[in-house]
Amino acid sequence: MDPYLRPTPTIESEHPEIVAFARRHAESASDEREAAVRLYYAVRDGIRYDPYTAQATEEGLRASATLDSGRGWCVSKAILLAAGCRSLGIPARLGFADVRNHLSTARMRAHMQTDLFYWHGYTSIHLEGRFVKATPAFNVELCEKFRLRPLEFDGREDSIYHPFDLEGNRHMEYVNERGEFADVPIDAILETFHEYYPGHMQKDWGGDFEREVDAETGDR
């Protein structure tokens, strides 16, 4: 378990702000499972999902940077959760999969020119003798606006995206598993992004994701 407990340049489990964040939210937890569950909800809802913050760089993926900004995309939020768990002595690693994501805005679809999201990130946490998947990406308010069931996590069952939204429309499809890692494989992610998202790599996103979501879901 040692590789899943050590700090890395992005999974900053010894950073003072990460340690304080983890201890604050895990305070009075009765065991590691309850502590991990509390951290999951702190990251899911306390850090706003914002895909326009996506940066596949060491600096942009640091857990402390995500905590300071209060915003992140699936990979950076998974890193923050892993860092918080490791700071409490709970083994955690990063998992990745390619998914077909039907939750996006018109500008985002036009920019990416695909609904296939490569290297979607989640956290895999070792609890009660086995690893369980936790996906803290979409905060509860975003789910409500898009008519999705928020992903819950109890520390015993995998928490992965639902295939359909509350209206029965297709939401998320897992199309390829990339595996689980002790640290974020930045070089591999960048190689894929350069191949499949050339426009994304060459332009600054800009924009306000939450405002775009409000504009597209305001009549729901």
For the stretch 133-184, pLDDT in tens is 999 999 999 999 888 889 999 999 999 988 888 888 878 899 999 999 999 9
Per the structure block, which two tokens stand in for 211? Answer: 């405002």
Structural domain containing residue 154: 2-217
The pLDDT assigned to 8 comes to: 98
pLDDT band at 73 (very low <50, low <70, confident <90, very high): very high
d(CA 97, CA 101) in angstroms, rounded, equals 12
Phi, psi of 31, rounded to the nearest 5 degrees: -160, 180
CATH number at residue 52: 3.10.620.30
Question: Exposure of 125 by Cβ count < 10 A (0-12 exposed, 13-18 middle, 19+ buried)?
Answer: buried
What residue spans of the chain are helical by DSSP H?
Answer: 16-26, 32-46, 58-61, 63-69, 74-87, 106-112, 140-145, 186-196, 198-202, 209-217
Phi, psi of 170, rounded to the nearest 5 degrees: -60, 130
Q: Is the pLDDT of residue 200 over 70?
A: no
d(CA 189, CA 181) in angstroms, rounded, equals 13
Question: Exposure of 216 by Cβ count < 10 A (0-12 exposed, 13-18 middle, 19+ buried)?
Answer: middle
Q: Is the pLDDT of residue 58 over 50?
A: yes
Q: In this structure, are strands 130-134 and 116-127 parallel, antiparallel, or unpaired?
A: antiparallel
- Pick the closest to residue 160 from 138, 181, 133 (CA basis): 133
d(CA 130, CA 94) in angstroms, rounded, equals 15
Domain count of the fold of the chain: 1
Cross-strand pairs, 99: 117, 174
- Pick the closest to residue 25 from 87, 79, 69 (CA basis): 87
Cross-strand pairs, 124: 93, 133
- Pick the closest to residue 97 from 66, 137, 62 (CA basis): 137
Q: Is the pLDDT of residue 206 over 70?
A: no
At 91, is the secondary structure helix, strand, or coil?
A: coil
At 59, is the secondary structure helix, strand, or coil?
A: helix
Q: Is the pLDDT of residue 65 over 80?
A: yes
The pLDDT assigned to 202 comes to: 47
d(CA 165, CA 121) in angstroms, rounded, equals 20
Cross-strand pairs, 132: 125
